[in-house]
Amino acid sequence: MSVKLPIGPIHPMLKEPINLTFYVEGEVVVDAEPNIGFVHRGIEKLAERKTWFQNLYLLEKVCGICSSAHQGCYAQGAEKIYEKEPPEKALYIRTLMWELERLHSHLLWLGVIMHEIGFDTLFMYTWKDREYVLDLVELISGRRVGYSISTIGGVRRDVTYEMLKKAMDVANYIAERAQFYEKVVLNERTVLDRTQGVGYLSKTDAIRLNTVGPTARASGVRRDVRQDMPYGVYEEAPFSIVVDTGCDVLARILVRIREMVISADVIKWIVFNMPKNGAINLKISPFMKPPENEAISRVEAPRGELFYYLKSNGSLNPERIKIRTPTLANIASVIHMVKGHYIADIPPIVAGIDPCMSCMDRVVIVDVNKEKKTVMSHEELHRYSLKWYKRNKLLVREERR
């Protein structure tokens, strides 16, 4: 006798708002079903009507946080379509932006997950640190979000000595802070109680469900597009892939914190190796028609593998653009992870895959048998989950042992 508990549709993810229906027995989730597409904007269709260069600015709006990954991935694919190689310096600047984006996305996510489990102090800390990265991004590109840095055949803005100097400072600062966060997470009882053993996803299941990004790496799956199919300057850049075998939400937190340290190292390497002179842009005319081609482009966005399929028909407009975002790939794993967990664990598990902007909006609880309907806002669910955990702290601790 399970009770239906729909979450959504006006939901966490900015690019993919979702309606998750949970089937609960008492406090335990037994099954779940996703239903997505509530702000489907038809970008793939719209992209077919715009020119190759106009699409640069359309596609970066697929996601507000990993906009540079989307634009860079598209530009990388479009360069294959145009059969042009971007200059080396452009690749360095692009990679710098990708890594800065990973830093601020992981910091944002760390704040969100801490907020979900009721640890708002760390939320304030991480979002303050994120401002340093955003200031730097603004200095380089002129904007805090939607940087529009990439273009087909290179990048649009050059970096100066001051920018690189600041990038160095930011990388050093964030690396230091990441170590502090790791210490806090591993020693703070509040965090351990709510994340250890929650949202278990075994390595076999992570591979079977085609999980991508930090979610997969937290289950011990060593997969990273940066290493498996190098792009940008990742071929030369020295970096290691962070893998954790914890398979729970805590492991996902640790993987992302450690990835920030690696990202900071890559940024430092880029600053040291940035070519001093050289063109940043091939200056391709926006009215140049590309030859008939089809290309595939993959990048490792902060949330995992981002996939683009592009096809041209010899005219100014693309014939087909297909986007596969990492959150779509990870949705199946959320369904798998929540099974057997408490309702109060839903927020950290759903937030655990980093679904773009995590903040559950409205929750409807329907009791099928009594036909009673209660509507809970995200705020209420959040409070409910905190209260529930306070009440059942000892019980849960005992069970997880």
Residues that bind another protein (CB under 8 A): 34, 36-37, 40, 42, 44-45, 80, 207-210, 222-223, 228-230, 294-296, 298, 305, 307, 309, 311, 319-320, 322, 324, 328-329, 331-332
Smallest distance, another protein to C-beta of residue 231, A = 12
Smallest distance, another protein to C-beta of residue 176, A = 33
Which CB sits closer to another protein, 37 or 142? 37
Smallest distance, another protein to C-beta of residue 212, A = 8
Which CB sits closer to another protein, 208 or 397? 208
Smallest distance, another protein to C-beta of residue 251, A = 20
Which CB sits closer to another protein, 103 or 323? 323
Which CB sits closer to another protein, 23 or 173? 23
Decide if 352 contacts 215 (C-beta within 8 A): yes
Which CB sits closer to another protein, 162 or 238? 238
Q: CA distances (Å), 82 to each of 50, 294, 316, 317, 356, in order? A: 16, 10, 11, 12, 31
Smallest distance, another protein to C-beta of residue 94, A = 18
Which CB sits closer to another protein, 116 or 305? 305
Smallest distance, another protein to C-beta of residue 326, A = 11
